[in-house]
């Protein structure tokens, strides 16, 4: 799957645990210009650097995976959450591709949930 649009905001990398980090950004998708969509995408682990060379306003194409998790809280209640994880960013403004091999894309530490 992919999302095409304009990079409108990028956030700093957050070190969640000693072994897990993530970085989020917002992409404005304009399939319907009258009602643009603002979609938050996260990058994890070594993918956080994909945003380093991009600027606000750049037109980008983000290849994504949609993830869903189930987590039991301390009171035994089941919680469910979704995330949109980017793994490759193509920048039309720079005419380059930002990619880090996706061989480790699922190396999340399940003990670190929720994040």
Entry pTM: 0.75
Domains and CATH numbers, the chain: 2-106 (2.40.50.140)
CA 113 to chain centre: 16
Kindly report, residue by residue over 20-64, the tens digit of the pLDDT: 999 999 999 989 989 999 999 999 999 999 999 999 999 999 999
By the 10 Å C-beta count (0-12 exposed, 13-18 middle, 19+ buried), 66 is classed as: exposed
Proportion of the chain above pLDDT 90, given as a percent: 75
CA distance 68 to 51: 23
Mean pLDDT of 91-113: 53
Mean pLDDT of the chain: 86
Q: What is the 3-state secondary structure (H, E, C) of 18-80?
A: CCEEEEEEEEEECCCCCCCEEEEEEEEHHHHHHHCCCCCCCEEEEEEEEEEEEEECCCCCEEE
CA distance 14 to 23: 6
């Amino acid at each position: 799957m992919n999302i095409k649009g304009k990079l409108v905001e990028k956030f700093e990398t957050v070190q969640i645990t000693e072994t897990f980090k993530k970085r989020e950004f917002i992409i404005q998708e304009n399939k319907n210009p009258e009602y643009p969509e603002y979609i938050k995408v996260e990058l994890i682990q070594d993918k956080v650097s994909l945003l380093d060379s991009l600027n606000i306003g750049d037109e980008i194409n983000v290849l994504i995976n949609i993830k869903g998790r189930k987590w039991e809280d301390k009171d035994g209640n089941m919680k469910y959450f979704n995330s949109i994880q980017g793994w490759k960013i193509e920048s039309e403004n720079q005419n380059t591709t930002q990619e880090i091999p996706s061989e480790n894309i699922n190396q999340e530490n399940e003990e670190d949930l929720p994040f």
